[in-house]
Each structure stands twice: as structure tokens, then as C-alpha cells.
Amino acid sequence: MQVDKLLAITPEALAKAILHRRERLAEVIPEQLDAKNDEKSTAEEIAREAKLQRDELNDKVARVKASRNKAHAKAKELFEQASNLREQIDLAGGYQNPEPEWKKEKLQKKLEQLEFTLETNWGDHKTEGRIHDEMKRLIRDHEKWVEERASSQPLIHQFRNLNKEAVELINQAEQFHQDMLMMVKENETLHTEYVDKEFKRRNIDSKTKQLTKALQSSEIGIEHWQKICNGEVQHLLIDSQRVREGGPSTVARNIQRKRSNDTRESGGEEE
């Protein structure tokens, strides 16, 4: 716009135009703000649910990890105890198998003899019953004999139990570890979803705040320009009158003031 046309605009017209603009914004913004607030509430609920799911899985991963570490630590402790027992066993003369091969062969031979007798006496129920009873007795006697030999070596029994329990704990730890890996992979997906939903929530929240500030600014502006439209506006003509009389505009005065300040700060003299 040319300077003459700009200067031709009266303060009253300018004040009314600004007031109209503020009033129009004050009419439009509330509807936009209500819609954005509804959108914000929905986004907050979605982000909160996503965070809850992620955090719950995080807690579960932490518990499984703790169980895995506990199983590892206990297994290590048992293996160390078993190692110490093995040293004691070796010092005591080593390990004696409670069920040597010759004993198993002897039992097997007797059982085979009884089976042969059973086959050759097929149909004689009384004989079959006695043979079955004899076979069960031989097996019981054999198991008892092995158990007695094993009980005579308590360190061996303890050594076996320690190793068995340690192996079971290692298997448990491995299962915990596999479960944890699956949950960690799932957690990566949940975390990505949460970050995306939280970003959207923040974006909506930022726009809501902008609309709120715009509404507040418009309301303050309406009050201000209503007072101007209803009152004295001559003070708005000061700058305009100065330009009419050939004086510098507000922009020019600001530039000149800045130059003067820079000259004083540098210690020079203003030309």
C-alpha cells in the first residue's frame, strides 16, 4: 500500500477494523478449541494405555530376568558344592559303582532262565504265578542290594543330588531367558507404539495451548480496542502527524536510536 493511502486511513476506521478482526477470532476459536480439547482427551487416553502396556511388560521382563539370575546363581553355588564333594570322594578312594556290570548280568541271566521256564510251562497258571513272583523278588532283591551299596557312599548320593538340582536350575534359567527374549522383542514394539502416540498427544496439546492463548489474546484485544473505539483516539495520530510534517517514521527513529547507542558504546562520536 502506498504511503498516501496508508496515511488516509483514519484512526477510527483502523481501530474498528482491528476490533472486528478480534471479535471474529473470538467467535471462531472456541469451536476449534472445543474440538481440539476432545481430540486431546482421546489422545491422552490412548497414550496412557500404551504407556501402561509397555510399563507392565517392562515389569514382567524385570521379574523374569531376576528369576533367571537367581536360578543361575543358585546353580553356580550347587556346582561349586558338587566340585568340593568330588574332591572329597577322590581323596577317599574314588567312586564305587553301586550297580556293577557283573551284578546286572547275573540278574539278567536269572530272569532269562525264569522266562524260559515260563515259556515251557505255558498253561500252568500256578507255575506261572510262582515264576512271576520269583522274577519280582529277584528284581526287588537287586534294587535293595544296589541301594545298600549306594547308601554306603553318602557323598556320592549327595554329589548326584547336587548335580541333578543344578542341572534343573540351569534348564529353568534357560527357559526364563528364552521367555525374556520374546518379551523384550514384544516390548520394542510396544515402546515404538507408545512413542508414536505420545508424540501425537504432545502435538495436539501444543495446538490446544496455542488456541487457548489466541482466544485469551483476542479477548484482551477486544476489550482494549473497544475502549479505543469508545474514547479518544488522537494519541494514535502522533506518528502519522509527524510523518505528514516531514519527520521520520517510527522505523526510521528506531534505526537512528540504535545507531546512536552503538556509537556511544564504541566510544566514538556521532557524526
Structural domain total, the chain? 3
- In this structure, the answer to whether residues 83 and 22 fall within a common structural domain is yes
CA distance 247 to 239: 9
**Looking at 112, 146, 180, which one is the last position of a domain?**
146
Is-above-0.75 flag for pTM? Answer: no
User: Cβ–Cβ contacts within 10 Å for residue 173, how many?
Assistant: 19
CA distance 42 to 200: 11
Mean pLDDT of 189-204: 93
The model's pLDDT over 1-51, given as tens digits with 9 standing for 90+, comes to 455 565 556 667 777 777 788 888 888 888 888 999 999 999 999 999 999
pLDDT bucket at 205, cuts 50 / 70 / 90: very high
- In this structure, the answer to whether residues 162 and 244 fall within a common structural domain is no
Q: Which stretch of 149-153, 176-180, 265-269 has the lowest confidence by average pLDDT?
A: 265-269
> For residue 46, what pLDDT is reported?
94
Q: Tell whether 1 is covered by a domain.
A: no
175 and 72 in contact (C-beta within 8 Å)?
no
Residue 158 sits in which domain range?
Answer: 8-96+153-231
Pick 148 or 135 by higher pLDDT: 135
Q: What is the mean pLDDT of the chain?
A: 78
> For residue 271, what pLDDT is reported?
42
- In this structure, the answer to whether residues 163 and 212 fall within a common structural domain is yes
Give the CATH number for residue 227: 1.10.287
pLDDT bucket at 142, cuts 50 / 70 / 90: confident
Answer yes or no: is pLDDT of 270 > 50: no
- In this structure, the answer to whether residues 201 and 256 fall within a common structural domain is no
> For residue 161, what pLDDT is reported?
80
Question: Which is nearest to 176 in space by CA: 70, 74, 80, 76?
Answer: 70
pLDDT bucket at 105, cuts 50 / 70 / 90: confident
Answer yes or no: is pLDDT of 215 > 80: yes
> For residue 81, what pLDDT is reported?
84
- In this structure, the answer to whether residues 12 and 91 fall within a common structural domain is yes
Question: Which is nearest to 35 in space by CA: 208, 196, 210?
Answer: 208
Q: Which residue has the cell 504407556?
A: 51
- In this structure, the answer to whether residues 180 and 83 fall within a common structural domain is yes
Cα angle, residue 16 at apex, residues 10 and 20 outer, rounded to 5°: 145
- In this structure, the answer to whether residues 111 and 28 fall within a common structural domain is no
Mean pLDDT of 171-189: 90
> For residue 235, what pLDDT is reported?
58
Mean pLDDT of 220-248: 68
CA distance 198 to 43: 8
- In this structure, the answer to whether residues 244 and 161 fall within a common structural domain is no
Answer yes or no: is pLDDT of 59 > 90: yes
- In this structure, the answer to whether residues 46 and 139 fall within a common structural domain is no
Answer yes or no: is pLDDT of 256 > 60: yes
- In this structure, the answer to whether residues 66 and 178 fall within a common structural domain is yes
> For residue 14, what pLDDT is reported?
72
